[in-house]
Amino acid sequence: MDQKTVVVGSRLPRTDGLAKACGTTQYLDDLTIEGCWVGGTVRARVPRGRIREIRQDLSFDWSRAVLVTARDIPGLNVVSMIRDDYPALADPLVSFPTQAVALIAAPDPETLREALAAVSMDVEELPPVLTVEDSIACTQVIWGDSNVMDEYSVVSGNAEGAFASADLIVEGIYRTKHQEHVYLEPQGMAAIPREDGSLEVIGSMQCPYYVHSALVKGLGFSPEKVMVRQTETGGGFGGKEDYPSILGLHAALLALKSGRPVKMVYDRKEDLLCTTKRHPSVIRHRTGVKKDGTLVAAEIDIILDGGAFTTMSKVVLSRSILHATGCYFIPHVSVRARAVATNTPPNGAFRGFGVPQSNFAIERHMDRIAEILGMDPLDLRKKNILKNGSSFPYGQVLGEGMSAELVLDRVLEMSGYREKRRLFAEENRKNPFLRKGIGLSLGLHGGGFTGSGEEYISGSSSVRVSGGERVEVLVSSVEMGQGASTVLAMIAAETLGLDLMSVVHHVPDTSVVPNSGPTVASRTTMYVGKTVQDACISLVEQMAEKAAELEEFAGKRFSYEKGVFAAGEKDRIPFFEMAKRLASFPGILSATARYRPIPGFSWDESTYTGDAYKAYAWIANVVEVEVDMDTFEISPRKAYVSAEIGKAVSPVLASGQIEGGSLQAFGYAYLEDVGMKNGSYTTAHLNQYLIPTTLDTPDFSVDLQEVPFSGGPYGAKGLGELPMDSGAPALVAAVGHAAGVFPEGIPVTGEYLHSLLRKNKKERKAGEQ
């Protein structure tokens, strides 16, 4: 199915690149909105409690500002997401310290600051639940009747019985902490009331229709009275999947009460302290192994810290459990996964969506098993790697694109892993102060929504010929740095046989674009791209058919190829020329296509079995680090990555995604550390929350493998989240190799590394006595 393509697969520059590089792109904060006020938030400040009273200090002149509390909400007091458990404003219960209690709008930031300082609260404090251990033990019931927000299990074979046939049982507990997205542009939304009583809400977001639904519910408006428009978005990484619904509703409430446009743009501090993060996890593995390294049975227990409300936890957890055994075949498996509530800010979507946690645990556990068996981690992986015909614990057997071994072999070739592993160990004996280490990991990511999610949302895309020689791609999918604008335009240009400059994708507006679904789950290229391709095919078909009704072509049958309608040798009409001739026929110059279920896949939600994803992307990483044994500083030096992503629509952007996502995973592994105290984040500044800079970026070698997926446009699969899933365990393994320790959690900060080395020293001493 490898088709010959011209635009798809070529190394064209991204369509939004120049404006972003030159700084001319306008983000929400750059936009001047006539008569606009600024909005701010009064927060609870206690992890758990009951609000008795909200007080307005009367020394402030309240005619200069507008205050909104839960009483002013015209619709339901919820931010509608997967579940309606998250109140837009606390009333009267407080469930986490940064929870919004009231909102204020004022004409300028100075007045807003004064007004915010003039609000106080009388809150009866209640004992909070701050850890997942306390949540499970139900020291206090803070959510539902057991604190468990969601629970899933996946069982294959008979794990309990199969443990008896194992030569040994290896156990381990692996922990990951919060991670902050650090999109370049902080969260920001604005609401603009219109004269006809409708409301326009604009801002930085991934999912215009999610925001739309939340507004309809929270405001009690009919859907056509709310219009949501994305503004240029400076990165999302999942953080703008849920939060814009909250902030959009807040801005809307202030706009309705004040009768003016209101803009709310968080500064970095408010963004770091108040917005969602990646779910912390505690994952226990218990594995039955044969002496030769064959895995026979596994019991896995996954716990995610959901924070106070569900946001996306239900689906994040689902992805965690479905990726729990990573790239390995284990015949007997029993996995239990729970998301539990704590009185901490709700955790939400973040690139990888539950997989980075699961994959860290399984990859670390493979290293532990290898260490116990005295095997090289590579040999253990090779022995158990998923192959054609292997099944996942939920029963899926892939008919195509099972590429774990392919990427592993490629990365070994690129990196010289085996020789270096031996060589570094030797060198470290000679130079024990600056040690080198090399580590390996694998990963996979199911593209698009889980199970029947794509069938359920059944997204559609449109294309239309606009004035001049332009085709517009009309979708609700957004550009947020990942390249959707370029990739979708490339797919349309390829299908229509036009050049890339003839196709545009704008920031979506819900009153103009169909619902092609949210910009999440690495689904844009693979699923939205497919409907864009289908819409383009429909467009030329209907144009060809209609052409026969034109007087000059009466009865002629047109075919279409490479941008030209042809009926015999004489009548060869280029696309835009034909569009001009057909302009008077209504509806002929636009077409819409809806998601068509891909045959051969089925998923049973009630038993959690079947084809969880239609295609998976695969990745293998080898990371080399240096560890300074005096300062405990870790420096990633080289990163080799091989990824199998189906057809790379834009190889430049695909490689960029792999590098950027890997770097984000490296930050997660050793630098990024969200501080917590009494249910609040304490890292309020980017000099406390460190992310990798260019100086921390290793030298990357990226290799793309393209095994076309028959269901994707030109064979493409999703790849945006894949690199985030698997960089961390490779880096941690490399640190372990260098320093002779076994980190079980991330981030491996200098302090953690130091404590592991001290423990080693103590154990050695104890052994000598």
For ligand MTE, the binding residues (CB under 6 A) are 235-238, 351, 480-482, 484, 519-525, 657, 660, 718, 720-721
The nearest distance, CB 459 to ligand MOS, in angstroms, is 15
Three-class secondary structure of residue 611 per DSSP: coil
Q: Which is nearer to ligand MTE, 338 or 351 (CB)?
A: 351
Q: Which is nearer to ligand MTE, 660 or 747 (CB)?
A: 660
The set of residues, in sequence order, having a beta carbon less than 8 Å from that of 187 and lying 6+ positions away, is: 204, 239, 240, 243, 244, 247, 265, 266, 271, 275
Residue 178: name its binding partner from ligand MTE, ligand MOS, none (Cβ under 5 to 8 Å by kind). Answer: none
Residue 244: name its binding partner from ligand MTE, ligand MOS, none (Cβ under 5 to 8 Å by kind). Answer: none
Label residue 613 exposed, middle or buried (CB < 10 Å: 0-12, 13-18, 19+): buried
Label residue 676 exposed, middle or buried (CB < 10 Å: 0-12, 13-18, 19+): middle
The nearest distance, CB 542 to ligand MTE, in angstroms, is 28
Place of tokens 């859907």: 223
Q: Which is nearer to ligand MTE, 69 or 476 (CB)?
A: 476
**Which strand (E) or helix (H) includes residue 442?**
strand 434-446
Q: Which is nearer to ligand MTE, 207 or 398 (CB)?
A: 207
Tokens of 141: 């019931």
Q: Which is nearer to ligand MOS, 321 or 520 (CB)?
A: 520
Q: CA–CA separation, 352 vs 240, rounded Å? A: 14
Three-class secondary structure of residue 362 per DSSP: helix
The nearest distance, CB 367 to ligand MTE, in angstroms, is 27
The nearest distance, CB 464 to ligand MOS, in angstroms, is 27
**Which strand (E) or helix (H) includes residue 249?**
helix 239-258
CA-based end-to-end distance of the chain: 67
C-beta neighbour count of 40 within 10 angstroms: 23
Residues 285 and 362: beta-carbon distance below 8 Å: yes
Q: Which is nearer to ligand MTE, 546 or 717 (CB)?
A: 717
Label residue 114 exposed, middle or buried (CB < 10 Å: 0-12, 13-18, 19+): middle
Residue 533: name its binding partner from ligand MTE, ligand MOS, none (Cβ under 5 to 8 Å by kind). Answer: none
Q: CA–CA separation, 137 vs 565, rounded Å? A: 69
Q: Which is nearer to ligand MOS, 636 or 727 (CB)?
A: 727
The nearest distance, CB 129 to ligand MTE, in angstroms, is 29
Identity of residue 5: T
Residue 717: name its binding partner from ligand MTE, ligand MOS, none (Cβ under 5 to 8 Å by kind). Answer: none
Under DSSP, the state recorded for 570 is T
The nearest distance, CB 478 to ligand MTE, in angstroms, is 9
Q: Which is nearer to ligand MTE, 656 or 750 (CB)?
A: 656
The set of residues, in sequence order, having a beta carbon less than 8 Å from that of 473 and lying 6+ positions away, is: 461, 462, 463, 488, 489, 492, 503, 504, 505, 532
Residue 187: name its binding partner from ligand MTE, ligand MOS, none (Cβ under 5 to 8 Å by kind). Answer: none
Tokens of 547: 């052409």
Residue 424: name its binding partner from ligand MTE, ligand MOS, none (Cβ under 5 to 8 Å by kind). Answer: none
Residue 481: name its binding partner from ligand MTE, ligand MOS, none (Cβ under 5 to 8 Å by kind). Answer: ligand MTE
Under DSSP, the state recorded for 397 is B
The set of residues, in sequence order, having a beta carbon less than 8 Å from that of 588 and lying 6+ positions away, is: 542, 543, 546, 582
Residue 137 sits at the vertex; the CA angle it makes with 131 and 141, to the nearest 5 degrees, is: 85
Residue 657: name its binding partner from ligand MTE, ligand MOS, none (Cβ under 5 to 8 Å by kind). Answer: ligand MTE
Residues that bind ligand MOS in the complex, under the rule CB under 6 A = 206, 238, 241, 349-351, 353, 520-521, 721
The nearest distance, CB 266 to ligand MOS, in angstroms, is 18
The nearest distance, CB 313 to ligand MOS, in angstroms, is 13
Residue nearest to ligand MOS (CB): 238
The nearest distance, CB 256 to ligand MTE, in angstroms, is 30
Pairing between β-strand 332-341 and β-strand 295-307 as defined by DSSP bridges: parallel
Q: Which is nearer to ligand MOS, 89 or 444 (CB)?
A: 444
The nearest distance, CB 238 to ligand MOS, in angstroms, is 3
Q: Which is nearer to ligand MOS, 351 or 421 (CB)?
A: 351
Residue 480: name its binding partner from ligand MOS, ligand MTE, none (Cβ under 5 to 8 Å by kind). Answer: ligand MTE
Residue 484: name its binding partner from ligand MTE, ligand MOS, none (Cβ under 5 to 8 Å by kind). Answer: ligand MTE
